[in-house]
Structure 1
Amino acid sequence: MSKTEVFAHRGASSYAPENTLEAFLLAIEQGADGIELDVQLSKDGVPVVIHDETVDRVTGQSGFVKDFTLQELKEMVVLRERFAKYRDARIPTLREVLDAVRPSGIAVNIELKTGINWYPEIEKKVAAIVEETGMKDRVIYSSFNHYSVQKLKSIVPDAETAYLFSDVILRVDDYAAKSGVDGLHPAVYHVKMAEFLSEYLASGLKTRVWTVNERADMKMLIDAGVTAVITNYPDIAIAVRDMM
Structure 2
Amino acid sequence: MEGGLGWLMLYTRVCGLSWILVYLALSLVLGLMTHITLHLMIVGLMICLVSYFRLPPPNPTIVRQVLGTDPAPGLPDSAVDWLIAHRAACLDAPENSIEALRLAAKNGAKIIEFDVSFTSCMSPVVFHDDTVDRVTQATGHISSHTHSNLKKLNLATKHPLGSSFEFSGIPDLEEFVAECMKLNMKMIIDLKTYEVPEETISVILNLYKKFPGMKSCTMVTSFFPHLLYQLRRKDPEIVCSLSYRPHFFAFSTYEGTNVSMKPRFSGFMLHTANLVDILFPWFLENFIWFFVGLSAVLVHKAVVTHQYVSDWRRKGVRVMAWTVNDPLEKAFLIHTVGVQCLTDTLEKVKPDQWVLKD
Taking structure 1 as the reference length, the TM-score comes to 0.89
Change (3 A) 1:28 1:164: same
Match of 1:56 in 2: 133
Match of 1:165 in 2: 244
Q: Which moved more, 1:146-155 or 1:2-11?
A: 2-11
What residue identity is the alignment partner of 2:299?
A: P
Residues 81, 110 of structure 2: 8 Å contact kept: no
Shift of 1:68: 1.5
* 1:72-91 matches, cutoff 5 A: 72-82=149-159, 83-91=162-170
SS for the counterpart of 1:36 is strand
Match of 1:123 in 2: 201
Change (3 A) 1:138 1:239: farther
SS for the counterpart of 2:328 is helix
Summarize deviations over 1:154-207 as a string: whole Å, max 9, x none. 222110000001027126333313431111110111215x84233233332021
Match of 1:7 in 2: 84
Partners of 2:350 and 2:85 in 1: CA distance: 11
* 1:47-196 matches, cutoff 5 A: 47-82=124-159, 83-115=162-194, 117-118=195-196, 120-134=198-212, 135-167=214-246, 169-170=281-282, 172-175=284-287, 176-192=289-305, 195-196=307-308
Taking structure 2 as the reference length, the TM-score comes to 0.62
Partners of 2:181 and 2:234 in 1: CA distance: 22
Summarize deviations over 1:79-128 as a string: whole Å, max 9, x none. 3142111131010011111111212221000000125x435411211221
Partners of 1:99 and 1:23 in 2: CA distance: 15
Change (3 A) 1:70 1:84: same
Match of 1:201 in 2: 313
Residues 137, 158 of structure 2: 8 Å contact kept: no
* 1:11-30 matches, cutoff 5 A: 11-30=88-107
Question: Do residues 230 (structure 1) and 342 (structure 2) align?
Answer: yes
Percent identity over the alignment? 25
Q: Which runs of 5 or more structure 1 residues have no equivalent in the other structure?
A: none
Bigger Rg, structure 1 or 2? 2
SS for the counterpart of 1:170 is helix
Change (3 A) 1:240 1:32: farther
Higher relative strand content: 1
Higher relative helix content: 2
Partners of 1:202 and 1:20 in 2: CA distance: 37
Q: Which runs of 5 or more structure 2 residues have no equivalent in the other structure?
A: 1-71, 73-78, 247-277
